[in-house]
Amino acid sequence: MGLTPYHNRVNGFKLVAVFLFWLGTFTGDKHTCHAHAAEQQEPVTHGAFGLEQVVLVIQSQRNSYHARKAVERKVEIVQKAAELGQGVPVIVLLHELSDYDGNWSILPALPHLWSTYSQSASWFFFIEDETRVNLAALLKVLHRYEVQEEWFLGKCLHDNEASIIHHYAFSEDPASFGYPDPAAGWALSATLLRRLAERLQHERLKSDFTIDWKYEIALYIWEGGNGPKLTAVPEFCTEPRDNCATTFTTYLPNCGVPVSKEHVFVAVKTCQKFHSERVPVVKATWEKDAAFLEYYSDVADASIPTVSLGVPNTERGHCGKTFAILRRFLSKAVPKADWLLIVDDDTLISLPRLRRLLCCYNPTEAVSLGEKYGYGLVRNGYSYTTGGGGMVMSRVAVARLLSSGCSCYTDDAPDDMVLGRCFTSLGVPITHSPLFHQARPEDYSETLISLQEAISFHKHWNIDPVALYQHWLQDTHPRDEL
């Protein structure tokens, strides 16, 4: 299977953007998410059912830390259901559906969920491995909606500006389109899920790329106006409030003592034309938090200093350069560290927060961590950590990759996609953390990123990168110095 070169990827974005712009101009609806009238009413009694008619899908991940979290959540829910005495939901751990790892983006999993659970299920409810659920409150919410109808329920997020990660959709009025916050949980009625599963069997998706699955699934469901929009459910919460059916507070989990500075080796990819423009921003912001950091360029420049890897600079992907970095990381030329972080020269990152997150993961396992994207997931493609937000790999993962012989087909192939394809073929899971960001804060829902303790953002376009760093990434009282 071939990879799509970056320029196709970008042109594809533009085409989709034009198409979606056209669509967007025809949607008169100004309301992001509707609070349906049913919310003001008493429960629909003829739709009453127990928890055994709810399929609860945990968006679990294969990495051992996340798999453990998902099992904890499952055990907790089963226990609470027993105490409540209103039936026990079917609980699905998404990563257990198949060895092949495409189901994380949900759409590919829907046909399977339908064919397996259509007999018993009235509702499918999706949560993350850290989402807490109050089952009695959940049941009460679901009883409000007539299950014979198509419902897409969630906590509503929206864009404030047209966003590259959403292909600049609805650029006339980006806030007009709502999508769910996965941390708060979201639901599909079986009636809607059945139709989606059928559509997925016949209809090709418009794009091969999965960039922001929660947005893309909302677009797929809405279907240019043929399907429902997201209905906002106030009881699907993140911050705890009264009457919440769900809560989520663990954005940056507390797993104990942060990984030490010396165990994170930082590689910054740059090239001559950015030595004076971008490197000074790294130096003015986060460079000071790294114990070991090297700048890799096509040209040696003692004033920074940069290391030249002997790989010519390429305009598109950086596969040749990245593989040279991997080889150097394992060599005696640099101090031995458990973790490798590869970033672009226009990535802004909080190393203290990264080190807090990394202590959740086992460095003796092959770990690939960052913001997860997908390519061709509905037809057995692969996932990858998108490069701009920062790619984190354990030493074990780097060693497995290099000894496998998996390599770039050209120096200018997209490095992140090649790494993802290699890891997928080796069975190394691509682990997602929503704290890494391939784009700028403006490109994400403000509600979402203001709740997170973000680890990274990427790109200097139209923003002041130093101000961005100070606002979103710098801790006023760095915990590692306490």
Ligand X SMILES: *[C@@H]1O[C@H](CO)[C@@H](O)[C@H](O)[C@H]1NC(C)=O
Residues that bind ligand X (CB under 6 A): 97-98, 100, 102-103, 108-109, 112, 377
Residue among 94 and 165 whose Cβ is closer to ligand X = 94
Residue among 102 and 465 whose Cβ is closer to ligand X = 102
Residue among 58 and 377 whose Cβ is closer to ligand X = 377
Residue among 95 and 437 whose Cβ is closer to ligand X = 95
What letter would DSSP give residue 258?
Answer: P
Residue among 100 and 409 whose Cβ is closer to ligand X = 100
Minimum distance from residue 51 beta carbon to ligand X (Å): 24
Minimum distance from residue 200 beta carbon to ligand X (Å): 11
Minimum distance from residue 1 beta carbon to ligand X (Å): 14
Residues 6+ apart with CB under 8 A from 274: 345, 346
Residues 6+ apart with CB under 8 A from 452: 251, 252, 434, 435
CB 458 within 8 A of CB 439: yes
Minimum distance from residue 216 beta carbon to ligand X (Å): 14
Amino acid (1-letter code) at residue 367: V
- How many C-beta atoms lie closer than 10 Å to residue 204's C-beta? 9
- H/E stretch holding 385 reads strand 382-385
- How many C-beta atoms lie closer than 10 Å to residue 29's C-beta? 11
Nearest residue to ligand X, scored by beta-carbon proximity: 102
Residues 6+ apart with CB under 8 A from 231: 33, 34, 35, 36, 145, 151, 152, 153, 154
Structure tokens that stand for 169 in this block: 């959709």
Residue among 31 and 379 whose Cβ is closer to ligand X = 379
Residue among 104 and 295 whose Cβ is closer to ligand X = 104
Minimum distance from residue 109 beta carbon to ligand X (Å): 5
Minimum distance from residue 102 beta carbon to ligand X (Å): 3
* CA gap 101, 429 in Å, rounded: 8
326-336: string of b/e by CB count within 10 Å (b at 16+)? bebbbeeebee
Minimum distance from residue 91 beta carbon to ligand X (Å): 16
Residues 6+ apart with CB under 8 A from 367: 63, 361, 392, 393, 394, 396, 397, 428, 431
Residue among 20 and 430 whose Cβ is closer to ligand X = 430
Minimum distance from residue 210 beta carbon to ligand X (Å): 10
